[in-house]
Every structure is written in structure tokens, then in C-alpha cells.
Homo-oligomer: A and B are copies of this chain.
Amino acid sequence: MKKSDVVHVLFRSGLDKMPPRETGEAFAPTNIALCKYWGKRDAELNLPMTSSLSISLDQKGATTKLSLLHDKPHDVITLNGKEVALDKPFAKRITAYLDLFRPQKNWHLQVDTTLTIPVSAGLASSASGFASLALALNDLFDWNCSKRNLSILARLGSGSATRSLWHGFVEWNAGVQPDGMDSYGEPLTVEWPEFCIGILMVSDREKKVSSREAMQRTMDSSMLYGNWPKKVATDLVILKQSLKVRNFSLLGGVAESNALAMHATMLSSWPPICYFLPETVQAMHKVWEVRGKGLELYFTQDAGPNLKLMFLEKDIGKVKVHFPLMEVIKPFVLSS
């Protein structure tokens, strides 16, 4: 099944209607998975092998502004104010996504995306990017789509974008249907104001292997990947239970273990994929050292070298002693 088929299922008709306004705009937060999405059951539709669970990072994310272009034979894409050449992979992904929704073939948009996070450094820039793009299209065209359907549309751009439609904890149900109509995000009703994330930037260089490629290579070549779905199924049950009873140690431990197991599947791929930099490993050992001394501090890591620390608000001061450069995010405390 193709992406355009899914779009036609969702809209039935009406995709040829011109937008009622000149611009559309939306923000979507980036999200950090506590139980990772790693491996696809359908690469075209970004349907995952397993369910996953994330926390959205408040105001860290992407704002996308769309403007109709009346006199250009092509789209114009900007990222953080700089125009991106249309033959770059980043621009190609966006124009291909827009192709799904153009009312006429020779109809073009200016897409201005502004990120409050670094690009391609394992901070889910594409998650917030495609979620904000789907929301901005909904705004521009006045689709009045449900968030569930927007989550499905965002997924067609980037898998983890499925979870970036909401703040707080979000679960992405893998689903079983071939068209992925049962594969969307759902917010959990858990508020946890004391829950903090500390972004520990180790490097903001663009990664050499994209998560897309890394995921595919893992599925193709890692023998240890075979047990990953079992690991996720177990971790998800415990994570949801830990959220229900607000057991932070349980949550932190399972999230850290889940992240390490994901990286383990990558290390055992061929050629090996290693998002660890020396500084990453140094920070990990530091976390283990201070946790050994009683501080409730855990980490998670995505397809990039940076760590995201997890701790409770009461420990911010203690954590900052060891990681003075981290940036603290409180996902449940509205930023001004």
C-alpha cells in the first residue's frame, strides 16, 4: 500500500479543494521515547514492529509556517531562516510529503520550519518537524482532522512524528492493519509535574547514519534483534505500571534498559552502528557512578550521541553538580 492510498482513505474526496486561506501555521513538540520505536513492519507507511511510549518536550520542537506561492514553479523550503536546496534529502522528504496533498499538480508552497532543537542529532527533529507540518496543513486547508488522523498523517512523514501531536506521555500503538489505520498516537492521562528531562548535548554534529538507515540495517543484519519485540512488550507493561503508581526508579530503570537494548541491537548489526561517542560513554559511566551513590538518575539515548537524563524536580540541584551544562525541561510545567 502507498502513502497516497492512505491519504485517500482518510479524505475519501476533497483533496482537490483549494485552501480557504493564504497561510497555515503550527507548533509541535519533539518527543523522547522511554520505550523506543526501532524497526518497521512497513517501511513505506512507517508502520512499526512494536508499540512505543514517549514524553513530549514542552516548547522544544518545530514551528512550521506554510504560505501559498502563486508565482513559483516549485516549492520553497527554509529551515531556521535559511533556504534549503530542493535536491537536498531534507527538502526532498518535504516536497514528497506535500505531493500527497497538492490540489493541483502545479501548486506550490513555501514551507518555513523553525526548530528550537539541533537538526539530526538524535533529538527527534523530524518528529516535531512532520507533526508540525501535518498540523500546519490542517490549519491551511481547514481540514478539521481529528488528532488521531493527524497522527496517522504525521506518521507518513516520519515514524516518531506519530507521537508528537500531544504534550505529556504518549503511547503509539503499533496496530496490525496493513493500511495502518490502527497505528496512531494516544496521550496518556498521566500528569507528573515533578518529572524532569535533562538534555545533555555531547555533540551537535549531524549524524553519519540516519535513524532510518540504522533501523533498516538493524532489522536486516542483527541476530539479536529477534528478541527486541519481546523486550519492548515487557518494558511497555512495566513502564505503564510505573506511571500509574508514580514509581520513578522503576520508570527510569526500564527506560534506560530499553534504550541500551536498542543500541545493543545496532552494535550487533553489520556494519556496526555505534551512536556512542567517547563523551557519551563518559557521561553514562558518570550516571552509573552517581546512581551507585544513591541519586535517582537515569538516562535514555536515541539515534545520536546525546543523552537525555531523567530525574525528579527535587534532585535538580544534585544532578546539576555533576552535569552543569545540561538543559532542564519540565514537561508538565507550562513554560512562560
Query: Given contacts A231-B224, A268-B260, is CB(A281)–CB(B280) below 8 Å?
Result: yes
**Residues of B with C-beta under 8 A to A177:** none
Query: Given contacts A224-B261, A231-B223, is CB(A276)–CB(B268) below 8 Å?
Result: no
**Residues of B with C-beta under 8 A to A279:** 278
Point out the residue from B267, B271, B277 that lies within 8 Å of A267, measured CB to CB.
B267
| Oligomeric state, in copies | 2
For residue A178, CB closer than 8 A to chain B, the reply is no
Consensus secondary structure, chain A interface: helix
Interface residue range, chain A: 20 to 34
A57 to B180, CA, bound (A): 55
**Residues of B with C-beta under 8 A to A265:** 224, 264
In the assembled complex, the CB of A203 is this many whole angstroms from the nearest CB of chain B, namely 12
For residue A285, CB closer than 8 A to chain B, the reply is yes
A278 touches B267 (CB 8 A): no
Query: Given contacts A227-B224, A231-B223, is CB(A270)–CB(B257) below 8 Å?
Result: yes
For residue A234, CB closer than 8 A to chain B, the reply is yes
Interface residues of A in 102-149 (CB under 8 A from B): none
Please, what's the 1-or-0 string for A50-76, where 1 marks a CB less than 8 Å from any CB in chain B? 000000000000000000000000000
Interface centre among A225, A234, A257, A267, by most B CB within 10 Å?
A267
Of all A-B residue pairs in the complex, the 8 with the closest CB atoms, nearest first, are A264-B264, A278-B278, A261-B268, A223-B231, A264-B268, A224-B224, A278-B282, A260-B267
